[in-house]
Amino acid sequence: MASVNEERPGTGPVTPLAHRVPDLGALELLLAVARLGSLGRAARERGISQPAASSRIRSMEQQLGVSLVERSPRGSRLTDAGALVTDWARRVVEAAEAFDAGAQALRGRRDSRLRVAASMTIAEYLLPGWLIALRAQRPDTAVSLLAGNSAAVAERLLAGEADLGFVEGLDVPAGLDGAVIGHDRLVVVAAPTHPWARRRTDLTAAELAATPLILREHGSGTRQVLDAALAGHGGLAAPLLELASTTAVKAAAVSGAGPSVLSELAVGEELAARRLVEIPVHGTRFGRDLRAVWPSGQRPAGPARQLLGLTRAVP
């Protein structure tokens, strides 16, 4: 099928429909003139000056090649051609109103719900506060939360099962766009009874890499950062335990099962209460970015955009 700008054999370039048909504002002005019998009253109803209304009617007449309105001291009346064009204009405006009503219904359906997918650390320690703030602004929006590792968040977004995602890691997952909303640090922790808690020297990165740890599963942002940080020190030893949630990893570490590496967001209370001890590590850092993510080319809209704004307002 030829496009509107494509030159067809024997006809020359096709003028786009938008150049041949008056815009909605001009058609609404013509309908107002027909209803009110006065160009001046029609201009006031439309919120424009009379000279601007006259100019718009003249431009429409030039565009269509026919006279539409006869002006006189007693008012304005439609020509025969103007009456016919007005009938057509009414149908166009009614169709535009139906289009607008449908678009509003779609926006209303979109704005009535928000599906969020978040990696475990963000879902457990940051997202509840953001959602409380969103609830205060949008009490009628129903929010559902899908918590999983960073890889699962990406899968949800790419499958159209979430409107906005949150991940922690080294970069934006493939197929997604994102924005950094904060920063986090991983810390090595162990129960106070663990030998590392009584060390007088910092742990080395090589020692950490060689020690079986209680770890999150592959696909988590925590595991991704840890793997990258220790890649130059022999890589991670086989895990002592591999668990699918931050809470489970923390509980195992508190019980004394072994050392672990967790977000400092997740272990603040345990460190303050001395249920866990932070183990300093020499020679490596475990910093990472926290990101909001969404499918490439699809900027967040409606409640997703509002939630994104709230995350950026949080220090």
pLDDT at 219: 86
Q: How far is CA 141 from CA 110, 115, 122, 124, 135, in A?
A: 9, 10, 21, 21, 7
- Say yes or no: 103 and 134 in one domain: no
pTM: predicted TM-score of the whole model, two decimal places: 0.64
pLDDT at 283: 79
In sequence order, the 6+-apart residues with CB closer than 8 A to the CB of 168 are 119, 121, 122, 150, 184, 221, 222, 225, 263, 288, 289, 290, 291
Q: What are phi and psi of 173, to 5 degrees?
A: -60, 150
Q: How far is CA 131 from CA 113, 180, 202, in A?
A: 13, 18, 39
- Measured over the CA atoms of residue 265, residue 269, residue 273 and residue 276, the dihedral's sign is negative
- Say yes or no: 99 and 242 in one domain: no
Domain CATH for 101: 1.10.10.10
- Is there a contact between 245 and 120 (Cβ–Cβ < 8 Å)? yes
Mind listing the pLDDT tens digit for each residue in 177-225? 999 999 999 999 999 999 999 999 999 999 999 999 999 988 888 898 9
pLDDT at 110: 54
pLDDT at 3: 47
pLDDT at 72: 78
State the residue range of the domain holding 312: 127-315
Note whether residue 39 is domain-resident: yes
Distance CA 35, CA 183 (A): 62
pLDDT at 315: 39
- Say yes or no: 155 and 295 in one domain: yes
The stretches in the chain having pLDDT less than 50 are: 1-4, 6-7, 314-315
Distance CA 18, CA 123 (A): 48
Note whether residue 70 is domain-resident: yes
In sequence order, the 6+-apart residues with CB closer than 8 A to the CB of 177 are 293, 294, 295, 296, 297, 298, 299
pLDDT at 40: 87
- Is there a contact between 139 and 112 (Cβ–Cβ < 8 Å)? no
pLDDT at 107: 64
Note whether residue 122 is domain-resident: no
Note whether residue 114 is domain-resident: no
- Say yes or no: 11 and 89 in one domain: yes
What is the distance of C-alpha 224 from the center of its chain? 24
Greatest CA separation found in the chain? 101
Structure tokens at 164: 């906005």
- Is there a contact between 267 and 76 (Cβ–Cβ < 8 Å)? no
- Say yes or no: 67 and 164 in one domain: no
- Is there a contact between 241 and 217 (Cβ–Cβ < 8 Å)? no
- Say yes or no: 144 and 202 in one domain: yes
For strands 113-119 and 176-190, give the pairing.
unpaired
Domain CATH for 256: 3.40.190.290
Least Cα distance to 282 among 206, 200, 227 occurs for 206
pLDDT at 4: 44
pLDDT at 105: 59
Number of domains composing the chain: 2
- β-partners of residue 261 are 188
Q: What phi-psi label fits residue 209: left (phi over 0), alpha (psi between -120 and 50 degrees) or beta?
A: alpha
